[in-house]
Structure 1
Amino acid sequence: MRPSILKSLKPDIIVEMLEIAFLFENWDKLLNTSDILYSYAQCIYEERQFFKAKRLPVPHVNMARPLVYYYGFSHLMRGIACQKQGQYNRAREYIDKYAELGWMEDLGEEGMQIVEEFRFLARANGYALDILSGKTERLAEYVVFLKNNPEELLPGLDTILQAALRHGLSVDDLLDTFAEQAAEFGEYEDAGNVSHYYSYCHHLALYHKQAGRQDKALKYAMQALILAHQSGNDRNFKKCMALFESLREGADEEQIRQYEERLRGCLLEVHQQLV
């Protein structure tokens, strides 16, 4: 993309596009849009360095955050997209890039704070990547990290459940350890945490199904279905329907009633949209 086009972009709108792509699990779009944000940040940084070298006034660019944020966020989203697609080596490369952004010049106090925030995220996501890729010996260290950083607990437990499903681990004791905190996950209202909570419920249902605990599997399958419906994510809703149907034989009348009521509500919404 030509520099003139890149400089005309609005980075905060690109950030919003990335957040939407993440919520709807559109990993290809997440990766492609992250590439655009990175190219924008690189273009602006190189222009600033050029004007400084020529001892000319640096052109003002309308950005809500310091430039380092867009660098870091582009790498963060690239890493997430690669991780979700199972490309762990590429994901690690991007984690390494936003783990240390202190090389940028003229960061200022706010910029340095952003550098520290991305350094923390790199540590958290590095643990997650290790656990998912089979380095389960790091699980105990990751648990200590989650205890010390409760804001990472929801995505952290979701990661642990995914690793348990992938590598055949039993994490019952660990789930019991965090049961009190996990009971509060349903109180989150922001879109990012609701998305994490859906994923957590879905993987928890699969984990209990794998362990032969039908009642618990049904409970969390229904919760995931409700969250997918509330978020308007049709793909996730279909996944939850398939999961519930695979468990339907063990469901009681009340669970089936709630499930069918939810489906009727969805059909009504579709009908109203068509009228």
Structure 2
Amino acid sequence: MRSSILKSLKPDIMVEMLENAFLSENWDRILNTSDILFSYAQCIYEERQDLKSKGLPLSLGVVMPHSLVYYFGFSHLMRGIAHQKQGHYNQARECMSKYADLGWLDGLDEEGLQLVEEFRFLAKTNLYTLDILVGKTDQLEEYVVFLQDYPEELLPGLDSILQAVFRHVMNVYELLRTFAQQFTEFGESREEANPSYYYNYCYYLAVYHKRAGRHSEALECILQCIILAHKSHNDGDFRNCMALFESLRDRATEEQIRQYQEVLTAVLE
């Protein structure tokens, strides 16, 4: 894409497009848009380096809402997420290595240096996730310590661990008991930073309990899922939850069936 076209783009609009594509799970769109955002950031960086070499003020170049390192980091971050969701783990790891090390950028101010550290932390977090997903179970104990130190990462972290359980032979029952209180608090507060993580956790946990023969625990998780899917108006998730509940209906208590029917009634109203 020509530099004149790139410099005319609005980077924050591209960031918003990437966030919307993430919510709709459109991974191909994320790959395409993140490529454009990276090209934009690279173009502006080269322009600034040219101005600097000529002794001209940077104010002659494009002015952006955020530090330039933000757009470099965000483009690599979103591209890595898309590759991971598509199962392209080597490409995802390559993206992580790029936003883990953004200190090479010239002229970083205080905001830029802070962003470098934030992206380095995100890379560390996401690398743990990737290692667990590909079956590096030797990382599990270290990852648990990390989650205890950074509880804000707990929901997406346990979500990833439960996904890995279905791909690899892993016994995480005691691990889940370790964090049981925190998840009770998540469910009671209803103030999750990302409700989709809480839904995914409950759904995968329900399947995990069902496979282990813990039907009562599975049904409690399914009921949580049904409520969350209804509130988020996600018909696909709601249907999945219904199917899972019906597969265990004969194991449900009268109270669990009553709660289930209450949600169904609410949907019809």
Same fold (TM > 0.5): yes
Q: CA deviation at 1:110?
A: 0.9
The CA distance in 2 between the partners of 1:155 and 1:242, in whole Å, is 24
Distance 1:161 1:12, change over 3 A: same
How many correspondences in the alignment?
267
The CA distance in 1 between the partners of 2:102 and 2:128, in whole Å, is 19
With normalisation by structure 2, the TM-score equals: 0.90
The CA distance in 1 between the partners of 2:18 and 2:235, in whole Å, is 19
Distance 1:201 1:105, change over 3 A: same
Distance 1:174 1:38, change over 3 A: same
Check if 1:7 corresponds to 2:16: no
* 2:221 aligned partner: 220
Paired residues for 1:1-275 under 5 Å = 1-58=1-58, 59-186=60-187, 187=189, 189=191, 192-267=193-268
The CA distance in 1 between the partners of 2:118 and 2:143, in whole Å, is 18
* Structure 2 contact 80–96 (Cα < 8 Å) conserved: yes
Q: CA RMSD of the aligned region, Å?
A: 2.1
Q: CA deviation at 1:109?
A: 1.0
The CA distance in 2 between the partners of 1:99 and 1:51, in whole Å, is 27
User: Quick check: 8-17 or 234-243, which moved more?
Assistant: 234-243
The CA distance in 1 between the partners of 2:157 and 2:213, in whole Å, is 24
The CA distance in 1 between the partners of 2:12 and 2:268, in whole Å, is 36
The CA distance in 2 between the partners of 1:36 and 1:267, in whole Å, is 44
Q: CA deviation at 1:261?
A: 4.1
The CA distance in 2 between the partners of 1:7 and 1:14, in whole Å, is 13
The CA distance in 1 between the partners of 2:190 and 2:39, in whole Å, is 34
Distance 1:15 1:184, change over 3 A: farther
User: Quick check: 67-76 or 48-57, which moved more?
Assistant: 48-57
* Structure 2 contact 132–164 (Cα < 8 Å) conserved: yes
The CA distance in 1 between the partners of 2:155 and 2:210, in whole Å, is 20
The CA distance in 2 between the partners of 1:6 and 1:24, in whole Å, is 26
* Structure 1 contact 24–233 (Cα < 8 Å) conserved: no
Percent identity between the aligned chains? 66
Amino acid at match of 2:103: G
In structure 2, the gaps of 5 or more residues are none
* Structure 2 contact 67–111 (Cα < 8 Å) conserved: yes
In structure 1, the gaps of 5 or more residues are 269-275
Distance 1:31 1:266, change over 3 A: farther
Amino acid at match of 2:20: I
Render the CA deviation track for 1:40-88: whole Å, top value 9, x for unaligned. Answer: 2122212222222233333353433211011111111111111112111
The CA distance in 1 between the partners of 2:191 and 2:125, in whole Å, is 22
Q: Secondary structure at the match of 1:86?
A: coil
